[in-house]
Amino acid sequence: MDTGNAAWMLTSASFVFLMTPAVAFFYGGMVRAKAILNMLMLSVGALAVTGIVWTLWGWSIAYAGTDIGGIFGDPATGFLLKDTMVSTDGVFGSVSTKGASYPPSIDVAFQVTFAMITVALISGALAERIKFSTWMIFVALWITFDYAPMAHMVWNGGLLSPDGAISQAIGAHAHDFAGGTVVHINAAIAALVIVLIIGKRKGFAKEPFKPHNVPFVMLGAFLLWFGWFGFNAGSAFGANGTAGYAWVSTTAATSAATLGWLFTEKIRSGHYTAIGAASGMVAGLVAITPAADVVSPFWAMVLGLIAGIVCCFACGLKFRFGYDDSLDVVGVHGVGGVTGTVLIGFFGEGTGLFAGGDFKQLLVQIVIACVAIIFSGVVTAVIAFALEKTIGWRVTEAQEVSGVDLADQGERAYDFAGTASSILKEVK
Q: Is 80 part of a structural domain of the chain?
A: yes
Let me know if residue 27 belongs to a domain.
yes
52 located within any domain = yes
pLDDT of residue 43: 98
- Per-residue pLDDT tens for 330-377? 999 999 999 999 999 999 999 999 999 999 999 999 999 999 999 999
CATH number for the domain spanning 302: value is: 1.10.3430.10
Number of domains the chain is built from: 1
Lowest mean pLDDT among 22-26, 203-207, 282-286, 300-304: 203-207
pLDDT band at 425 (very low <50, low <70, confident <90, very high): low
Dist CA 154 CA 182 (whole Å): 7
* Dist CA 160 CA 152 (whole Å): 9
Q: Place 99 in a pLDDT band, splitting at 50, 70 and 90.
A: confident
B/e letters for 159-174, b = 16+ CB within 10 Å, e = fewer, are: bbbbebebbeebebbb
- Whether 104 is in a domain gets the answer yes
Closest by CA position to 78, among listed 92, 93, 59: 59
Please tell me what DSSP assigns to residue 344. H
C-alpha 105 chain-centroid distance? 23
For residue 228, is it within any domain?
Answer: no
Q: Are 274 and 210 in contact (CB under 8 A)?
A: no
| pLDDT bucket at 161, cuts 50 / 70 / 90 | very high
Hey, how many other C-beta atoms are within 10 angstroms of the C-beta on 213? 18
pLDDT of residue 51: 98
Does 178 map to a domain? yes
Mean local confidence (pLDDT), 33-47: 97
In a domain, 260, yes or no: yes
Residue 102 lies in a domain: yes
| Percentage, residues of the chain above pLDDT 70 | 97
Residue 276 contacts residue 294 (beta carbons within 8 Å): no
Rounded CA separation 153/73 (Å): 9
pLDDT confidence tier of residue 236, bands split at 50, 70 and 90: very high
Would you place residue 96 in the very low, low, confident or very high pLDDT band (cuts 50, 70, 90)? confident
| pLDDT in the model for residue 1 | 82
Domain that holds residue 111: 3-84+95-222+234-427
Distance (Å, rounded) from C-alpha 298 to C-alpha 294?
12
Kindly tell me if the per-residue pLDDT of 268 is higher than 70. Answer: yes
